[in-house]
Structure 1
Amino acid sequence: MIVITGATGALNGATVDHLLRHRPASEIAVAVRDASRARRFADLGIEVRHGDYADPASLPDAFANTDQLLLVSSSDPRADAVSLHRNAIDAAVTAGVGRILYTSHQGAADDTPFGPGRDHAATERLLAGSGLPWTSLRNGFYAHSLAWSTGPWRESGVITVPADGPVSWTSRADSAEAAAAIIASNGAYDGPVTVTAESAPTFEEVAAIASDVAGRTVRRVLMDPEDWIAARVASGQPEFAARFTLGMFDAAAGGWFAGIDPLLGQLLGRSPATVRDALTLA
């Protein structure tokens, strides 16, 4: 049995859809916090189990009789993500899961300025110490995030950022399809696996692509980080959220998201989606 957590979310929900091309519904289960939101999976013949990282007692049964378990990472910036992930990993050990797969992120490291990257690094250590076979899917930064990181560039002609550096903007849809292929490989990929697009443009280069897409000049403007934070807060964003986002730009400037790998294209059997694709849809 293959169990997928977080299937009511966009990433792992799409992974389930792609997995159905490789495995029958009878071999797939989803573990979700709210079963009422998983009706579409039940209608497909997929078993729906209750499992909540914040409720450790719910997890061993949710992970029972599981050959492969895909753990989605916590997306709440205020949560103690590592503790939640520890609950899930401990339950997987208790349940005797055959392999854990985990949705990590490119640039996972203890010293990255990007907070989730530190959480991913800590979680990967937990996986390595679990005694179970594991695979960490180090996905590139999801390309739909360009919408908030570049702002209203079509209207303003400006992309204002507090720091600049290369980012391997990667389609979330492509990442979901790749995760399904990796699960279907039955353990062919072990440990950290890099899943990124084929290029890592800087925001200066993103602005050049945006200019071509829009048919008008789009400039990249660097703003003092504290002034950028102040502008975000003035627009209504909580300061903690603005500083959380600043960590992403700082990590980009430090080269944490610069690496690229051909594996994604190999798994897809085609070229992954590009920044141009994302900006055209924006």
Structure 2
Amino acid sequence: MEKSMIIVTGATGLLGRRIAESLLMRVPADQVGVSVRDPRKAQDLAERGVRVRQGSFTDPDSLSHAFEGASQVLIVSVDKLGAEAIRQHRAAIDGAVAAGARRILYTSHMGADPTSQFEPCRDHAADEEVLQACGVPFTSLRNGFYAASALRFFGQAAETGQLVLPADGAVSWTAHADLADAAAAILTEEGRFDGPTPPLTAAQAIDFDEIAALAAELTGRTIKRVTVSDEEFRQQMAGHGVPAEQADLMVDIFAASRAGEFATVDPTLAKLIGREPINFDTVLREALSASR
């Protein structure tokens, strides 16, 4: 049988690194390769027998070497928006096709839809259309919203006693570690999902009222949830030096969550990883402990 070579892009990032680590618990190191912008940051993976090669979505020529011999390529989506994101992802998809990969996997997002109020979800929908047309079987990982994002919104609320945010809706916040294990499980069971997966989410969806109450319980302090308008929140962020594009994106998360775009809860993630996903209580408790 043809030798398997799984290539993971972005393997020095938060998600890509965890996927590579999870893969190494499942398959021999010589069946894992990583494509990274700076191979020095993946030196420890190279020392464990992983094939480390330089590759960048902004330099399509580099990808032919980075993806050489791939049976599967997992494209970890970039932290860009709009045309730039789609251009980079198209370069990665084209590179995987040219390398002869049997399957392309892509980290998409729950709620990926051309009509989403959240721009990254519109971008992911466009990327899924590119995958659909690329001529190679693909799996699109519809990842739940990263729990780490909720922690960024939580910010200094434990110190100030106020969680000041726009009106929101429930979100099934999901841990990077669980999503990484799910990706590794899908990679090692090639073809388990063809096309988009069901939403890969934690077992519960909660809103910021519940997060404030949970934080109060964990810290023993009073934490009040204060609702402001989208515009007030945008101005508040501008006052803290947040660039306009980033501020708009953050406001859009609240608009999309109010519309219920991130409220879905699905059992697929738990089945893939063979355990209950990490719940938000645990994520918040660890973050609060680390900040003390």
Q: Deviations over 1:43-85 (max 9, x none)?
A: 0111111211001111122222111110010113487100100
Do the aligned partners of residues 198 and 208 (structure 1) sit closer, same or farther apart at CA in structure 2, a change above 3 Å counting? same
Matched, 1:186 2:186: no
- Kindly indicate whether the alpha-carbon contact (under 8 Å) linking 1:124 and 1:136 is maintained by their aligned counterparts in 2: yes
Q: Which ranges in structure 1 are unaligned for 5 or more consecutive residues? A: none
C-alpha separation between the residues in 2 aligned to 1:270 and 1:56? 39
Report the Cα offset of residue 4 of structure 1. 0.5
Letter in 2 for 1:150: F
Pick aligned residue for 1:169 from 161, 170, 173: 173
- Kindly indicate whether the alpha-carbon contact (under 8 Å) linking 1:151 and 1:160 is maintained by their aligned counterparts in 2: no
Letter in 2 for 1:81: A
* Cα RMSD, aligned residues only: 1.3
Pick aligned residue for 1:259 from 255, 264, 267: 264
Q: Which of 211-220 and 30-39 deviates more?
A: 211-220
Task: Give TM-score, length-normalised by structure 2.
Answer: 0.93
Q: Deviations over 1:103-144 (max 9, x none)?
A: 111111111111111111100111111111111111111111
Indicate the residue corresponding to 2:137 in structure 1: 133
SS of corresponding position for 2:215? helix
C-alpha separation between the residues in 2 aligned to 1:167 and 1:97? 35
C-alpha separation between the residues in 2 aligned to 1:166 and 1:209? 14
Task: Give TM-score, length-normalised by structure 1.
Answer: 0.96
Structure 2 counterparts to residues 1-282 of structure 1, below 5 A:
1-77=5-81, 80-193=84-197, 194-282=199-287
SS of corresponding position for 1:195? coil
C-alpha separation between the residues in 1 aligned to 2:43 and 2:81? 28
C-alpha separation between the residues in 2 aligned to 1:52 and 1:235? 32
- Kindly indicate whether the alpha-carbon contact (under 8 Å) linking 1:150 and 1:161 is maintained by their aligned counterparts in 2: no
C-alpha separation between the residues in 1 aligned to 2:138 and 2:218? 41
Q: Which of 145-154 and 67-76 deviates more?
A: 145-154
SS of corresponding position for 1:80? helix
Q: Deviations over 1:206-252 (max 9, x none)?
A: 22222222223322221011111111111221222111111111111
Aligned length: 282
- Kindly indicate whether the alpha-carbon contact (under 8 Å) linking 2:170 and 2:260 is maintained by their aligned counterparts in 1: yes
Report the Cα offset of residue 19 of structure 1. 0.5
C-alpha separation between the residues in 1 aligned to 2:249 and 2:100? 36
Q: Which ranges in structure 2 are unaligned for 5 or more consecutive residues? A: 288-292
